[in-house]
Amino acid sequence: MTAPLLSVDDLAVRFVTPDGTTTGLDGVSLEVRRGEIVGLVGETGCGKTLTGLAILGLLPRSARVVRGSVRLDGDELLGLTADRLREVRGARVGMVFQNPASAFNPVFTIGSQMRYVLAAHERLPKAEAEQRIRETLAEAGLPEVERVLRAHPHQLSGGMLQRAMIASALLCRPQLLIADEPTTALDVTIEAQILRLIRRLQESRGFSVLFITHDLGVVRSVSDRVVVLYAGRVAETAPTADLFARPAHPYARGLMAAVPHASGRREALASIPGAVPPDVGTIEGCAFADRCPLVVDRCRAERPLLRELAVGHRAACHLADAGAIL
Amino acid sequence: MAVEVLRPVVDLPRAGILRRIRRAIMTDPLALAGVAVIVLLAALAVFGPWIAPYPEQGAGQSNVPARMLPPSLEHPFGTDGLGRDMLSRVIVGARPAVAVSLLVVGLAMLIGVPLGAIAGYRRGRLDALIMRVTDLFLAFPPLLLAMVIVAALGPGLEHAALALAISWWPWYARLARGTATSLRERSFVEAARSIGVGDLTILRRHVIPNLLTPILVQATIDIGTVILAAGSLAFLGLGASPPTPDWGLMVAEGRTYILDQWWLSAFPGSAIFVVVLAFNVVGDLLLDVLDPRGTR
Amino acid sequence: MTAPVVATAAVVPLVSVRGLEMAFHVDGRVVRAVAGVDLDILPGEVHALVGESGSGKTTLARCILRLIVPTAGTVEVEGRDIARLRGGELRELRRSMQLVFQDPEGSLDPRMSVRDLVAEPIRTHLRPARGGIGPAVVELLDGVGLARRHLDRRPHELSGGQCQRVAIARALALKPRLIVLDEPTSALDVSVQAQILNLLLELRARHGLTYLLISHDLGVVRHLSDRVSVMYLGRIVERAAADEVFEDARHPYTRALLASVPDAAAAGPRPTLIRGDPPSPADPPTGCAFHPRCWLRDRLPDAAICATTAPPPVDGGNRAACHFADRVAPALAEDRP
């Protein structure tokens, strides 16, 4: 088995502000293998966006990496200089964000912005660069290439902008695409098209995707493997089908029981009582203990580590054994 | 659609306003100095006549034998052409300066904020009408206005204040209108409407209180600016008249002797400078601190 | 949960909308955000409006609440045309219809405490004696799962779910007949969403409320509603009981919408039945507004009529506004091996 493309190991991030410090990530470890789509799910404030930003070296100024490592294809990314990081971003790692309308500069055309992105990373003859841009746009499902190139961002719909954004992210043929809630601002009909597009491009080009989302339905339809974050820690990770069939962590199960389905009305929705702890860094035991229906004394005393329950299926729960789950 | 549901940065609970002010002051020496100047100014405005070494001279009584003395231990700021102690003049001058600026800014807010809030909240024809009137006042040169008013009512500090307030309120109307326009789109205003709260109540309870933050910041900065403007009017002979201990007037009176008896203009001029600067610094400080969500 | 209320002559609708149109002038063009809608909301039902953004569902709801005045058509509440109401009658109407917003924190004045926020509607309408509001506020908060200790908090000191509970308490304060829920949970996390959805169902049962639910989340719609109206480009294209819409949709657009939902309960990608973006309401297609994006039309040899003639509108006898509604299910059945 080859080494994973991206491996994040024991990553910890703290926020330092005049109002005090608080923990953003508390030892997050995850891997993205070559050619797979990994879904990173969790609720507001669980650290999923922060993980993406930390990988890219784009943390806000108040955030500090306390420990851990981020390796892309064997190269350590943490601690790189700003210049070296800029070479990685865009060229080796592409990014797609939630709001396509604000990701483009409103005063320039899509074409000039894409040329700028390409020129920043690769020195190509003009004709070749133009060719590359046109091909990528067409591949991203924008067949009216000329119109899109000449358009300003406000002249395109949200769906078209997100396609253009994906095309820009893939322009330099990155190994990894980090997509942060790329469909949250879109209608379901457009969302479905964008998810299919990402899947199709991933299959044809073979890059890997870290897909950050709060939507379990999106994760289920797009990803090969899922990492569930809770309060800045990994709660569970498993192949997608496995996770949805046999969620092991009480938090993952709680989430799944809370989602209303369009495909069949559920009698009652389970809700998770309480709220995410304000600073997980101060918690010795399990971060979910106060909200967990199964909590035992050990949960508050000892932090559960990720344990392998089945091949590729790991959960950070003392009680996540086959017997206790069911 | 659920846009921007997930903020990238974790929100920390924000400390209370007083604690934030205290922290901002403690970490920024310039802000501390600004606050200190304003506190001192307020103290002088209230207690000036009791603090000044020669209060009766401060108020205008002359002492001709001691005229044009340079700064000394007895008269740290020197004396003027009528032998009055300049330190006392500057100290006693704090009260008219503060009174004029509070009067002008207060009047300007009283006229400008409700008009601007109504214009921004109601939009439509009323908005157009109010804003055209505002533009009219803005287009009128303030100096000319001051001259007209002084010509009509005679010179005096209160007439200068009236002139300043009349040329000042349109800025508040504009600022209030801009903020009210964006508040109008906020869902809590629509929520109040959908509950059936009347327009006047919405203006009074939801719109005006929520647009006060930028207004207060502007007002703080303006207090300094008004002192400067009142000084300019006095300098031109359109404001306070002798023997009022007005800083601008003192600068004007010392103008002819600037090369030999520099202290006549320098000390009241410095007082204006320091006070204007202090209000600007504190205005910036408030801008950072007053925002209830800390989003700026 | 009560059984879906069936539209019969015996039931007098709480809200009755006829021929409603709402046109806006945008850049010199007329945009018909709502282009002729008939809608009955029956007492006690949860009626959902679904559709993409720009389909006119929010505009329609605002017309019903009389937050905006429609360009044509009538809205009757309990048989009275709301356009004719004045003074006390209008206040009474405002009292009986309340709105809960998408953005829970934004819908609460940031400077007011929970106590004042919940008291505001009572003060506005009932004008009680001073000091008489306290117990009512506490009771309302208790009803939505908040405690006394929340009374003096301000919105930014509450979580999103708590803010939405305050907003619901404000709506309930006036004992309304109808509550319009405009994307009530789309800004909330799933676990909190579940709490709010459960609360809404509980409150409806307890107070006999009627809800008009606007949502783009079809999972939420399925969980909450009795009947569903599907909107496309300012018109209702299908209306039926929720189970019928979700299990056996007759309009190709409804099918496409449902097929687009990434469902946590269903594995793997499903065929996408829709392509491209909705057309601009400023420049709607001729005939059936959905025809340029319609997957069914592509499969029918004789579908020229779709581009030329508008299909018959949805009414009591017609569930789906489609010339070929009866061909939807057979066409999809062919896909299955």
Q: For every residue of chain A, which 3-state class applies, written as one string?
A: CCCCCEEEEEEEEEEEECCEEEEEEEEEEEEECCCCEEEEECCCCCCHHHHHHHHHCCCCCCEEEEEEEEEECCEECCCCCHHHHHHHECCCEEEECCCHHHHCCCCCCHHHHHHHHHHHHCCCCHHHHHHHHHHHHHHCCCCCHHHHHHCCHHHCCHHHHHHHHHHHHHCCCCCEEEEECCCCCCCHHHHHHHHHHHHHHHHHHCCEEEEEECCHHHHHHHCCEEEEEECCEEEEEEEHHHHHHCCCCHHHHHHHHHCCCCCCCCCCCCCCCCCCCCCHHHCCCCCCHHHCCCCCHHHHHCCCCCEEEECCEEECCCCCCHHHHC
Distance from CA of A25 to the nearest CA of B (A): 11
Q: Across the interface, do B1 and A185 touch by the CB < 8 Å criterion?
A: yes
DSSP 8-class letter at C316: T
Closest in B5, B198, B292 to C187, CB measured: B5
Partner residue facing C223 (CB), from A160, A190, A266: A266
Contact A226, A245 (CB under 8 A): no
* Residue C112 to residue C115: CA distance in whole angstroms: 8
Q: Is it the case that residue B241 has pLDDT exceeding 80?
A: no
CB atoms within 10 A of CB C68: 14
Closest residue of B to C174, CA-based? B195
Residues of A in contact with C223 (CB under 8 A): 260-261, 265-266, 269
Please tell me if residue C187 touches chain B, with a CB cutoff of 8 Å. yes
pLDDT at A252: 92
Q: What is the pLDDT of residue B95?
A: 87
C252-260 vs A188-205: helix crossing angle, rounded to 10: 50
B6–chain C Cβ distance below 8 A for any pair: no
Residue B110 in tokens: 């009283």
Residues B293/B241, Cβ–Cβ less than 8 Å: no
| C237-248 pLDDT, tens digit each | 999 999 999 999
Question: What's the pLDDT score for residue C53?
Answer: 86
Residue B173 — pLDDT band, cuts 50, 70, 90?
A: very high
**Nearest chain B alpha carbon to C157:** B13
First to last CA, chain C: 37
Average pLDDT over residues C170-198: 91
What one-letter code names the amino acid at B52?
A
Contact A217 C223 (CB under 8 A): no
In this predicted model, what pLDDT tens digit does every residue of A60-98 receive, in sequence order? 888 889 999 999 998 999 888 888 888 888 889 999 988
C55 in contact with A at a CB cutoff of 8 Å?
no
| Inter-residue contact B88 to B57 (CB < 8 Å) | yes
Q: Which of C109, C113, C196 to mutate to probe the B interface, most B CBs <10 Å?
A: C109
Tokens of B228: 């400067």
| Partners of A133 in beta bridges | none
Which residues make Cβ contacts (< 8 Å) with residue B149, sequence separation at least 6? B159, B162, B163, B166
pLDDT-based confidence at residue C280 (cuts at 50, 70, 90): confident
Judging contacts by C-beta atoms under 8 Å, the chain A residues touching residue C254 are: none
For residue C121, the chain B residues in CB contact (below 8 A) are: 195-196
How many CB atoms are located within 10 Å of the residue B241 CB? 16
In chain A, the N- to C-terminal Cα span, in Å, equals: 33
Residue carrying structure tokens 């829709």:
C274
Contact C186 B187 (CB under 8 A): no
Q: Using a CB-CB distance cutoff of 8 angstroms, which residues of chain A are in contact with residue C219?
A: 217, 259-262
Percentage of chain A modeled with pLDDT above 90: 54
Instruction: Tell me, yes or no, if C52 comes closer than 8 A to chain B by beta carbon.
Output: no
Residues counted in chain A: 326
**pLDDT over 50 (residue C3):** no
Cα within 13 Å of Cα(A29), Cβ side: 11
Question: What pLDDT is stored for residue C9 in this prediction?
Answer: 53
Chain A residues contacting B, CB < 8 Å? 15, 17-20, 22, 24, 44-45, 49-50, 53, 60, 62-63, 98-99, 181, 184-187, 214, 278
> Mutate which of A243, A259, A266, A276 to disrupt the C interface (most C C-beta within 10 Å)?
A259
Most C CBs within 10 Å: which of B6, B189, B194, as the mutation test of the C interface? B194
The one-character DSSP state at C318 is: B
Q: Do B2 and A20 touch (CB under 8 A)?
A: no
Chain B residues in contact with C174 by the CB 8 A cut-off are 195
CB-based contacts of B268: which residues, under 8 Å, 6+ apart? Answer: B86, B89, B90, B93, B247, B248, B250, B251, B254
d(CA A7, CA C258): 37
| A263–C contact, CB cutoff 8 A | yes
Q: What is the pLDDT of residue B248?
A: 81
**What subunits touch chain B, counting only 3 or more CB pairs under 8 A?**
A, C
- At residue B163 the predicted structure's pLDDT band, cuts being 50, 70 and 90, is confident
Which pLDDT value is given to residue A232?
92
Note whether B144 and B229 are within 8 A (CB).
no
Contact between B202 and B193 under an 8 Å Cβ cutoff? The reply is yes
Q: Please count the other Cβ atoms lying within 10 Å of the Cβ belonging to residue A204.
A: 9
DSSP, res C10: T
Side chain identity at residue C43, one-letter code: P
With an 8 Å Cβ cutoff, is A158 touching chain C? yes
For residues A291-315, give the mean pLDDT.
Answer: 90
Q: Reduce the DSSP state of residue C209 to 3 states and report it.
A: coil
Chosen from A37, A194, A269 to mutate, greatest number of chain C CBs within 10 A: A269
How far apart are alpha carbons B46 and B94 in whole angstroms?
A: 9
Quick check: A158 and C258 CB within 8 A? Answer: no
| pTM, two decimal places | 0.84
Two structure tokens written together for B36: 């200190």
Q: Of all residues in chain A, what percent carry a pLDDT higher than 70?
A: 98
B206 touches chain C (CB under 8 A): yes
Tokens of B16: 């209370």
For the CA atoms of A103, A105, A108, A113, the dihedral, rounded to the nearest 10 degrees, stands at: -40
Residue B282 structure tokens: 């504190």
Contacts 24+ apart (CB under 8 A), C79-88: C79/C12, C79/C16
Task: Provide the shortest C-alpha distance from residue A317 to chain B (in Å).
Answer: 25
Q: Which residue of B has its CA nearest to C103?
A: B187
User: Which segment of A107-116, A224-233, B136-145 scores lowest on mean pLDDT?
Assistant: B136-145
Q: How many residues does chain B have?
A: 296
Whether residue C302 has pLDDT greater than 50: yes
Rounded to the nearest 5°, which phi and psi values hold at B71? Answer: -55, 135
In angstroms, the CA C159 to CA C152 distance is: 14
pLDDT averaged over chain A?
89
Q: Which residue is associated with the tokens 């851990």?
A: A68
Confidence of residue A227 (pLDDT cuts 50, 70, 90): very high
Angle ∠(B211,B215,B221) on CA atoms, nearest 5: 160
Contact A262 C222 (CB under 8 A): yes
Cα distance from B114 to chain A (closest Cα, Å)? 35
How far is the alpha carbon of C297 from chain B, nearest alpha carbon, in Å? 29
Least CB–CB distance from C52: residue in A43, A187, A220: A187
Dihedral angle sign, alpha carbons of residues B55, B58, B64, B66: positive
* Helix boundaries (H) for chain C: 57-64, 87-96, 114-126, 134-143, 160-172, 190-207, 218-224, 242-247, 252-260, 295-299, 305-308, 328-335
Task: Give C142's contacts (C-beta < 8 A, 6+ positions apart).
Answer: none
Chosen for mutation from A184, A212, A229, A279 (greatest number of chain B CBs closer than 10 Å) is A184
Q: Does residue A41 contact residue A61 with C-beta atoms inside 8 Å?
A: no
Q: B46 is written with which tokens?
A: 């209230």
Q: What is the mean pLDDT of residues A262-267?
A: 79
Q: Which of A158, A196, A255 sits opposite C269 (nearest CB)?
A: A196
Cβ contacts of residue B103 below 8 Å, gap of 6+?
Answer: B158, B161, B165
B2·C183 Cβ contact <8 A: yes
Sole residue written with tokens 């891997």: A31
Determine, for residues B2 and C109 on separate chains, whether the beta-carbon distance falls below 8 Å: no
Average pLDDT over residues A217-224: 92
The reply to whether C193 touches chain B by the CB within 8 Å rule is no
C260 and A275 within 8 Å at the Cβ level: the answer is: no
The three-class DSSP label of residue C252 is helix
CB pair distance less than 8 Å for C107 and B5: no
Q: What is the token pair recorded at C66? A: 């009389």
Show contacts of C141-144: CB within 8 Å, 24+ apart.
C141/C114, C141/C165, C141/C166, C141/C169, C143/C169, C143/C172, C143/C203, C143/C206, C144/C168, C144/C169, C144/C172, C144/C199, C144/C203
User: What pLDDT is recorded for position C41?
Assistant: 95
Task: Write the burial class of residue B62 (CB in 10 Å: 0-12 exposed, 13-18 middle, 19+ buried).
Answer: middle
Q: Are C37 and C235 in contact (CB under 8 A)?
A: yes
Would you call C216 and B1 a contact, using CB atoms and an 8 Å cutoff? Answer: yes
Query: What are the pLDDT digits (tens) for B127-158?
Result: 999 999 999 988 888 778 878 888 888 877 88
Candidate from C111, C157, C170 with C-beta closest to B195: C170
Q: Per mean pLDDT, which range of A203-207, B80-84, B208-212 is the poorest?
A: B80-84
CB-CB neighbours of B69 under 10 Å = 17
Helix (H, G, I), strand (E, B) or coil at C31: strand
- Give every CB contact of residue B108 below 8 A, 6+ residues apart in sequence: B165, B168, B169, B171, B172, B222
